Structure formats: C-alpha cells, structure tokens
C-alpha cells in the first residue's frame, strides 16, 4: 500500500528563504527525494494556473506520448529558457540554489516540461528513472535531478506521481520495451516492489518535490473531472554536460538566477 506524505499549511511567503539544512540534505540522500511544502506561494503559482486554464493545449505545443498500453500522456517540454512565464520559474533563485545544495555542484538547466492530465484521461507514465534515458544522451554521472512543482492539486485519484523510496541507491537500471512504451526492466521492478516503499506525492499548488535522477517514479490515470498539471524543472551538474554529438540543446549554457520576488514583481 502506498504511503502518503502529510502536508503542512503553506506559508503565504516564499518557502525558500535560506539554503537547505543538514537534515534536509540527509533526507534527500536517504530517500532520493525531498518535499518542500509551499515552495511557491499561492499568488506565485496562480499565473501558471491561469495560463494553463486559459490555454490547455499550450498554443498547440502539447504532445501525446504513448504509455505501455498505448494510451496517451500529454506533455510539452523545452530546453531554452525564454523570458516568458515558463522560462522564469526554472531560474528563480530559491529553486536553483536548492538544486545546487542537493547535487552539491553548480548546475544548469537541462529541460523543463508541463505534464498535463486532462479530466478522465487514461494515460499513465510507466515506471522509469530519468537517468535511464539521460545516460544515453551523454551524461557520465547521475548528478542530475528534477524539481516537480504542483500547479493543480495532485493526489492518487487524479494520477499523482509515485516515488520509490531509496531506489536511487540501486544505480541505473536497464530500461526495455514495455508494451508500446519503454520503462524499467519488469523482472527487476517486481523485485524492487517487494523490498521498497512506494510514496504518493500528494501535493497542493505550489508544493515542490525534488527527486534524484535515479529515483524510480510513475503515475496513473486521472479518474477525476478536473485537470492535473505539474511543472517539472530538471537540472544537470555543469561538469556533467553531455559529451556525445546531437545533444547541443542539452549542453551547458550559463544559468542566470532571478530574484525570488521575480514572479510577484511581474518581471
């Protein structure tokens, strides 16, 4: 049975006021993830909520990706950071600095994406590690992570992301063809599920979860009448920039941090 992280009331002020504590770093090292509740305040996440509600197709950029059963999962991703709203969030200082604390090195933006589940959508994200794919894109080490920020409330019934506690310590696992998609080796996954705890990322808008690139994760269908939207901001250590050809869009580019007040300032 999946365990549920309990939520505390979000502060009206930005959650990120100082660098991460030794205890928080230890939690991340042990579990492969770290919850930071109220990381973005309600008025900071509201512009993105409004933008997604006003244009749920994201200007036609939304793409469907088949899961193992052939059902579509919808996502829009980008590597280049523009000066519009979705280019600003990944550069907010508290987000970049928390990432640097957790990776332990200077970082740059790898890519970001909006993962959107429409009401009643059946698509799932099959169990996988991000580094299972990023390894083949030319990154020598898993010094990479993703910060997942909830735009809408996220819970099991609408397909919240699930994380396997401590799975980052298993190292990179081979990913194979799973039905019409790809995912972690099913035989190995079955054994992992016998020995590791699965966590439902129950989130309110503005909550954030940082998770290691080797942390196993998945999500189920949205069985509700409301959308479920997550913003994923992924980062790589500067020293880990891809060495293979064809990854220019993922190669190191300087990342200019923006003040924590940038969204409230309307900049």
The verdict on residue 8 lying in a domain is no
**In angstroms, what CA-CA distances link 148 with 33, 66, 85, 115, 152?**
10, 21, 16, 10, 12
Report pLDDT for 6. 39
- 149 pLDDT higher than 50: yes
CA within 13 Å, CB half, 102: 31
- 255 pLDDT higher than 50: yes
Report pLDDT for 66. 87
The verdict on residue 173 lying in a domain is yes
- 189 pLDDT higher than 70: yes
The verdict on residue 170 lying in a domain is yes
Neighbours of 121 (CB within 10 A): 20
Tally of domains in the chain: 1
The verdict on residue 261 lying in a domain is no
Per the structure, the complete domain to which residue 128 belongs is given by: 21-238
pLDDT over 90 percentage in the chain: 79
Tens of pLDDT, residue by residue over 77-91, are 999 998 989 999 999
The verdict on residue 166 lying in a domain is yes
Q: For 231-240, what is the mean pLDDT?
A: 98
We report the CATH number of the domain holding residue 176 as: 2.60.120.620
Q: According to DSSP H, which parts of the chain are helical?
A: 22-31, 42-54, 85-88, 93-103, 131-134, 186-195
The verdict on residue 213 lying in a domain is yes
What Rg value do the Cα atoms of the chain yield, rounded?
Answer: 17
Q: For 126-154, what is the mean pLDDT?
A: 97
- 2 pLDDT higher than 60: no
- 17 pLDDT higher than 60: no
Least confident span in 48-62, 121-135, 203-217: 48-62
pLDDT band at 18; cut points 50, 70, 90: low
**Mean residue pLDDT across the chain:** 91
- 169 pLDDT higher than 90: yes
- Sheet bearing 33-36, strands edge to edge: 33-36, 208-212, 144-150, 228-237, 107-117, 72-78, 63-66
Of residues 54 and 150, the one with the higher pLDDT is: 150
- pTM for this model (two decimals): 0.91
- 67 pLDDT higher than 90: no
CA-CA distance, 81 to 249, in Å (whole number)?
11
pLDDT over 70 percentage in the chain: 93
Least confident span in 17-21, 72-76, 190-194: 17-21
The verdict on residue 256 lying in a domain is no
Q: For 179-189, what is the mean pLDDT?
A: 90
pLDDT band at 27; cut points 50, 70, 90: very high
The verdict on residue 259 lying in a domain is no
Tens of pLDDT, residue by residue over 29-65, are 999 999 999 999 999 999 999 999 888 778 778 888 8
């Amino acid at each position: 049975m999946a365990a549920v992280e309990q939520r505390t009331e979000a502060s009206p002020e930005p959650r990120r006021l100082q660098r991460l504590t030794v205890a928080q770093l230890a939690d991340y090292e042990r579990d492969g993830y770290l919850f930071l509740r109220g990381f973005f305040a309600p008025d900071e996440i509201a512009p993105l909520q409004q933008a997604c509600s006003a244009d749920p197709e994201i200007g036609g950029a939304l793409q469907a990706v088949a899961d193992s059963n052939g059902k579509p999962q919808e996502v829009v991703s980008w590597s280049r950071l523009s000066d519009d709203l979705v280019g600003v969030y990944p550069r907010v200082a508290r987000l970049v600095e928390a990432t640097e604390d957790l990776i332990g090195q200077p970082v740059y933006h790898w890519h970001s994406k909006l993962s959107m589940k429409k009401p009643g959508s059946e698509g799932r994200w099959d169990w996988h590690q991000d580094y299972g794919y990023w390894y083949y894109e030319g990154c020598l080490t898993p010094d990479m992570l993703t910060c997942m920020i909830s735009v809408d409330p996220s819970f099991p019934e609408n397909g919240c992301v699930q994380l396997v506690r401590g799975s980052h310590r298993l190292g990179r696992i081979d990913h194979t063809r799973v039905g019409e998609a790809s995912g972690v080796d099913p035989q190995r996954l079955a054994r992992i599920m016998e020995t590791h705890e699965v966590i439902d990322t129950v989130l309110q808008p503005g909550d954030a979860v940082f998770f290691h690139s080797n942390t196993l994760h998945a999500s189920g269908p949205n069985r509700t009448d409301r959308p479920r939207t997550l913003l994923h901001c992924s980062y790589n250590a500067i020293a880990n920039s891809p060495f293979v050809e064809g990854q220019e869009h993922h190669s190191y580019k300087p990342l200019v941090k923006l003040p924590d007040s940038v969204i409230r300032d309307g900049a």
